[in-house]
Amino acid sequence: MKPTRALAALRALCALQLPPEVLVPALLEALHTLVPSQRNLFDWTDAQGRLVRYFIEGPVDAEIARLYFAEFHNRREAEAMPRFDTLRHQPGGVRSAAALNHAGFYGSALYNEIWRPQGLHTRLEGVLRGRCGTLLGSLVLYRGPGERPFGPRDEQLLAAVLPAFAAALQAHGVAQADDRHVFSPEAPESLLLSLDGAICHASPGAERLLLLADGGLTPDRLAHPLQPARVPLLAWLLARLRERAAAGAAQVLAPPPSLVHENGAGQFVASGTLLRARRTDEPPLAQVTLRRLESHRVALERCLRSLPLTPGQLAVCRGLFHGHTHGQIGRQLGVTTATVIDHVRKIHDALDLRSSDELRSLLSRRMALA
């Protein structure tokens, strides 16, 4: 995707007035189209530069996270790079990746015990400050060994999106009562547990998804091993599965219990299946499947980014999807109705469509399949 299109899509995402916990994952994903990276992260901070919570793409290695917060965070990391809390002195803008591109950093304990085991090699950081200069957080892009180092062009592109991102975080959008949710493109996660909640096996991203469903990733939550039985979402499921185990054959044909949990980060669906042992002297186990649902507004923006259209045409698509008339779209965009009609014609030609109804159907199908 061309940078102009990617930047326009990111700014459109920031203009949706999404709650911060919904905006951040969506923006980190969309940011890959502007500045390619392996994984992206956002740290929420207070005004003094203290970490409040964070969101990172991909699985969370809980052991590495605990090691980082126990030994390195604002402590030993100073041997290799500025301490995290020095953010309070940083102006808003981009911190160059070149500052860590030296043998001293790559030979440090921070790199070899925290970064390298996670496949991280170099980073580009954006410091976000609000309109009055208040520190909002830190946006970090990572690349792995063997990938192209971040350069000046990457810094320019990241800097271009920071103002819109900061403004969106300060807008404090609220969840819409009628906001529909669809399954996110993230793969389902699975856990195999004893009926009292001890984890036997888990897919790579299961612990991260559980933490997000239970309030997010924070230093305090990652300071101790996860106890699934204390997560309300799982506690309810395990209680239902223990009831089934006690009921014996009478519950064999009952549908698996499931629960939808909603918080600021979206909706989470958990379903549980009782796995009875082949041997009578072994206890049953619980298989739990977790999925995250996202706002359909986020899913729509992802679908729009995939279309071979200009930023202006995408803006018209957005209005058409929501059922707005050509005149309404023109007033929203500050253009004439004739311009909107011209965009619609070009959209139909580019996508081989005959009507706005077909466009809505196309986008709805893509959101359902994402």
> Average pLDDT, stretch 255-266?
85
Q: Answer for the pair 264, 174: CB distance below 8 angstroms, yes or no.
A: no
Q: What is the pLDDT of residue 177?
A: 56
Q: What is the pLDDT of residue 339?
A: 97
Residue 298 tokens read as 């986020």
Is 255's pLDDT higher than 90?
no
**11-15, 262-266, 351-355: range with lowest mean pLDDT:** 262-266
> What pLDDT band is residue 369 in, cutting at 50, 70 and 90?
low
Q: Residue 354's pLDDT band (boundaries 50, 70, 90)?
A: very high
pLDDT at 370: 55
Residues of the chain above pLDDT 70, percent? 96
Instruction: Please tell me the distance from the alpha carbon of residue 62 to that of residue 209, in angstroms, as a whole number.
Output: 12
> How many Å apart are CA 353 and CA 121, to the nearest integer?
45
| CA dist., res. 2 & res. 42, Å (int) | 24
pLDDT band, very low/low/confident/very high, at 355 (cuts 50, 70, 90): very high
pTM above 0.85?
A: yes
pLDDT in tens, 92-127: 999 999 999 999 999 999 999 999 999 999 999 999
Residue 313's contacts (CB-CB under 8 Å, 6 or more residues apart) are: 343, 346, 347, 350
How does pLDDT run across 192-249, given as a tens digit for each residue? 999 999 999 999 999 999 999 988 899 988 888 888 888 888 999 999 999 888 887 5
Per the model's pLDDT, the better-predicted residue between 179 and 100 turns out to be: 100
Which CATH superfamily, name and number, covers 181-295? Answer: PAS domain (3.30.450.20)
pLDDT in tens, 292-346: 999 999 999 999 999 999 999 999 999 999 999 999 999 999 999 999 999 999 9
pLDDT at 146: 93
Tens-place pLDDT, residues 62-72: 899 999 999 99
Q: What pairs with residue 140 in β-bridges?
A: 41, 125
Q: Give me the residue spans of the domains in the chain.
A: 3-171, 181-295, 307-369
Nearest-5° angle of CA 12, CA 13, CA 19?
135
Q: Do domains 3-171 and 181-295 have the same CATH topology?
A: yes
CATH topology of domain 3-171: Beta-Lactamase (3.30.450)
Mean predicted confidence (pLDDT) in 256-265: 86
Domain 307-369 has CATH 3.40.50.300: no
Residue 253, pLDDT score: 57
Q: Which of 43-47, 274-278, 314-318, 352-356 has the lowest mean pLDDT?
A: 274-278
| Cα separation, 123 vs 133, whole angstroms | 24
Strand (E) positions, 229-341? 258-263, 266-275, 285-295
Q: Is 218 exposed, middle or buried (0-12, 13-18, 19+ CB in 10 A)?
A: middle
Check if the beta carbon of residue 190 is closer than 8 Å to that of residue 287: yes
d(CA 197, CA 288): 11
Tell the residue number behind the tokens 């994402």, with chain if given.
370
The band of 175, judged by pLDDT with boundaries at 50, 70 and 90, is low
15 phi-psi bin (left φ>0, alpha ψ -120 to 50, beta other): alpha
For 233, list phi and psi in degrees, rounded to 5.
Answer: -60, -45
